[in-house]
Amino acid sequence: MKRMQPDLKPMPILAFLLVSFLLIFSVSAQNDNVDDTPCCCQGLAGNVNSNSLDNVNILDLTFIVDLIFRGGGQPLCPREGDVNGDGNEDTNILDLTALVDYIFRGGSGPANCIQAAHPVHQLGEDGEIICDVDFGPPCISLYILPFQVGNTFSLLGSNCAPVGEHVNWFAYDFDTQMGDTIIASRAGTVIVSNDQYPDDDFTCGHENNVFILHSDGTVIRYTHLLNSGNLVEVGETVVQGQPLGLSGRSGCTGGVPHLHFAAFHNRFNYDRQNSICINFSNAYGWHNSNNGLVSGQLYRAEPY
């Protein structure tokens, strides 16, 4: 009796489908791991293996020892292994020494993630803002995004945007909607809190605002808030992350709800020449070559 041979024709098809699935899964996994956040926003610069948002630990030390002495994998982001801040790309024995000192002896934190005392403020010979300045690594920023952790908003207008937006200004416009909670980007004292203008009053100068004065004399203006939506009063001390008011569309908005956010060198005037460039320590999203936020991009507020 002749033995029947199994029909093997479906096998190549199944193999092809299996390989295709694995390739698609691999590409998808790679895309899921893409991180467009500036490297230092993953935590301190000494967080070489990027296993945590905020701690530098023995696993980082093990990683850097392997990197220096055994040719192990590179830090997941450029300059992330430069613990002592002595170079842009090199990871060497001095970085190892700094990391050991930091972990075991309570030494100073990684050099390029120490918070900056003062934001950048530069004017050209014509008295106008110099737009092409480096804002510094976001991880050194004293500021957080002005909306609650986990929320994501797109940026309608960024620093020194084209005419009609923020030309010669350092300011941000976030596309917050009516009633979204606005929080304090930095701790300070309320020096202005007005919310008397109706939500359908689009007259320029009729904006509902909160102004916060910080310990170094700088001021942030939170503008276009909701009528009767302010949550703080003049003279009140606020902590970073505290709700200040509700977003609206009052004043010079053309009816488009958003938050206008601008920081100033001092409280003496709020002209564009007195504005300062800042970024945010907890902003997840694309940053330009100057470490500033980019118009049209989405930004999520990470834990801080």
Report the C-alpha gap between 129 and 28 in whole angstroms.
43
**Which residues fall within 8 angstroms of residue 102, CB to CB, at 6 or more apart?**
46, 56, 83, 108, 109, 110
Q: Is 23 exposed, middle or buried (0-12, 13-18, 19+ CB in 10 A)?
A: exposed
Check which CATH number belongs to the domain holding 51 and give it: 1.10.1330.10
Check which CATH number belongs to the domain holding 159 and give it: 2.70.70.10
One domain, residues 213 and 79: no
One domain, residues 183 and 259: yes
One domain, residues 234 and 108: no
One domain, residues 218 and 259: yes
Q: Is residue 14 part of a domain?
A: no
**155, pLDDT greater than 60:** yes
Question: Tokens standing for 301?
Answer: 């507020």
Question: Tokens standing for 142?
Answer: 């004293």
pLDDT band for position 123 (cuts 50, 70, 90): confident
One domain, residues 210 and 221: yes
What per-residue confidence (pLDDT) applies to 143?
94
One domain, residues 144 and 266: yes
Top pLDDT among 185 and 17 is at 185
Q: Is residue 186 part of a domain?
A: yes
pLDDT band for position 89 (cuts 50, 70, 90): low
Q: Is residue 130 part of a domain?
A: yes
Q: Is residue 212 part of a domain?
A: yes
What per-residue confidence (pLDDT) applies to 10?
53
**220, pLDDT greater than 50:** yes
- Out of 113, 131, 161, a domain closes at 113
Top pLDDT among 179 and 121 is at 179
One domain, residues 194 and 208: yes
Please name every residue paired with 237 in a beta bridge, in sequence order, or none if there are none.
Answer: 189
- Out of 113, 133, 150, a domain closes at 113
One domain, residues 166 and 285: yes
Q: Is residue 89 part of a domain?
A: yes
Q: Is residue 11 part of a domain?
A: no
One domain, residues 188 and 101: no
- Out of 113, 146, 169, a domain closes at 113
pLDDT one-digit tens code per residue, 254-286: 999 999 999 998 998 899 889 999 999 899 999
One domain, residues 119 and 108: no
pLDDT one-digit tens code per residue, 20-38: 444 444 434 333 333 444 4
CB-based contact 124:268 (threshold 8 Å):
no
Q: Is residue 304 part of a domain?
A: yes
Domain count, the chain: 2
The boundaries of the domain holding residue 107 are: 40-113
Q: Is residue 281 part of a domain?
A: yes
Mean pLDDT value across residues 144-155: 96
Considering the entire predicted model, what is its pTM?
A: 0.66
DSSP 154-172: EEEE-TTPSTTTTTT---E
One domain, residues 106 and 127: no
Top pLDDT among 177 and 73 is at 177
One domain, residues 79 and 162: no
pLDDT one-digit tens code per residue, 200-209: 999 999 999 9
Mean pLDDT value across residues 239-248: 98
